[in-house]
Amino acid sequence: MKIALVHDWLVNLGGAERVIIALHEIFPEAPVYTLFYDRKFTSRYFPKARIKTSFLQKIPGIAKLHPWFKILMPMAAESFDLGGFDLVISSSHEFSHGILSKPGTRHIAYYHSPSRLIWDRAHAWLDDFKKRNGAGFKVFLIMAGQHFLRLWDYPAAKRPDIAVANSWHVVERIKKYYGREARVIYPPVKVPGESNSALTRFANYFLIVSQLYPHKNIDLVVEAFKKMPELNLVVLGRGPERKKLLKAAKGFKNINFLGFVPDEKIGDYYQNCRGYIISNEEDFGISPVEAMFFGKPVLAHRSGGAKETVSEGITGKFFDGLDPESLARAVRSFNEEISAGRYDPEKIKKHAEKFGLENFKKEILDIIGSLAYTYTKKASPYESR
């Protein structure tokens, strides 16, 4: 069976990129089609892959400028000629599910989410843009672009033969915005490397591993920890909010932003933290599950994929209020529970195992097997003539 993999773009390491990396481990001979990529990223995570790009790759600086080229991405996704493959698996958080495949090519779309830019976060994204840039003609152009992309995206979502979501939370979004059913296969979570470093620079700290975007609510956590100088916060990751967050945390020695940390070192930070914090609605949320693999409890906002990965009272607890005071109270309570030994690390690790790579691989292969069986059983109406 000839298989191709498709992903929106390969620039930074996030949950969606970890899925396409896992898919390529399962199907190492499959070429990876992507709208554009950053060579440093692919050299590190796809050193032996055959990578095929769209015309967007020719645009200078596309890896950084791509938010301004969203309007071209549907056309770029449709430009891939995938007719020579028996099966295409798209890993989509934006537009790669809209690829064109011939009748003989089966298409499984793995959805991280329908594009949040044009669906559930369309207005929030626009409001954030207005705050940073003011109202004007650019806002009108963005609204027009969002409208056009929705007109393309809805029928494009009907193209895959099977829709798979990374959580039941995303299943509901697919049903609402695309009007189709999807099944769930949880993303694969690989245990990061650990060297058991003492990390003497930090003690008594809570951890966040996240790309630094406005909707991640890292600013909320910063404000909460300003009220708790006795507890430390360590944030790993990079993104457009970094400068703003550093400014907000200036003068508070208990709040530390360490930038990007590679997988071979990140295990140290999981191993030595008191617990993990997730302060936003995640589609699934791989990093909190990584923390659980180290036996660390998770404090999560009661929303999104966290409601499927965090077992309250066993692997962590939830908080509801999205304000610094509510979060600070929740962190203090969480810290007291950890000190009292409420959370059993072995039970947390056992819970995390169901999100492992082997389960993901088995479910992907099962769905491919069922798809092949379905189509071989269907007889052509011309066969009996």
What pLDDT was estimated at residue 135? 78
Residue 322 burial (C-beta neighbours within 10 Å; 0-12, 13-18, 19+): middle
Q: pLDDT band for position 291 (50/70/90)?
A: very high
Amino acid found at 41: F
| Tens digits of residue pLDDT in 112-150 | 999 999 999 999 888 888 888 787 888 999 999 999 999
Q: pLDDT band for position 384 (50/70/90)?
A: very low
Per the DSSP assignment, residues forming a β-bridge with 109 are 90, 163
| Tens digits of residue pLDDT in 83-108 | 999 999 999 999 999 999 999 899 99
Q: Is the pLDDT of residue 176 over 70?
A: yes
DSSP state of 335: H
Mean pLDDT of all residues in the chain? 92
Q: Are 119 and 173 in contact (CB under 8 A)?
A: yes
Q: Is the pLDDT of residue 382 over 70?
A: no
Residues 276-280, mean pLDDT to the nearest whole number: 96
Structure tokens at 221: 């956590």
What pLDDT was estimated at residue 197? 58
Q: Is the pLDDT of residue 194 over 80?
A: no
Q: Is the pLDDT of residue 329 over 50?
A: yes
Q: Is the pLDDT of residue 298 over 90?
A: yes
List, edge to edge, every strand of the sheet that includes 87-92.
51-53, 32-34, 3-7, 87-92, 106-111, 162-165, 183-184
What pLDDT was estimated at residue 263? 82
In order of their start, the domains of the chain are 3-188+356-377 (3.40.50), 205-355 (3.40.50.2000)
For 69-78, 149-158, 188-197, which range has the lowest pLDDT when averaged over its residues? 188-197
Q: Is the pLDDT of residue 169 over 60?
A: yes
Per the DSSP assignment, residues forming a β-bridge with 184 are 165
Residues 255-274, mean pLDDT to the nearest whole number: 92
Q: pLDDT band for position 385 (50/70/90)?
A: very low
What pLDDT was estimated at residue 195? 55
Q: Is 325 helix (H, G, I), strand (E, B) or coil?
A: helix
Q: Is the pLDDT of residue 203 over 90?
A: no
pLDDT: is 237 or 132 the higher one?
A: 237
Q: Is the pLDDT of residue 375 over 80?
A: no
What pLDDT was estimated at residue 136? 81
Q: Which residues of 261-286 are buried (b: 16+ CB within 10 A; e: fewer)?
A: beeeebbbbbbbbbbbbbbbbbbbbb
Q: pLDDT band for position 380 (50/70/90)?
A: very low
For 20-29, 72-81, 187-196, which range has the lowest pLDDT when averaged over its residues? 187-196
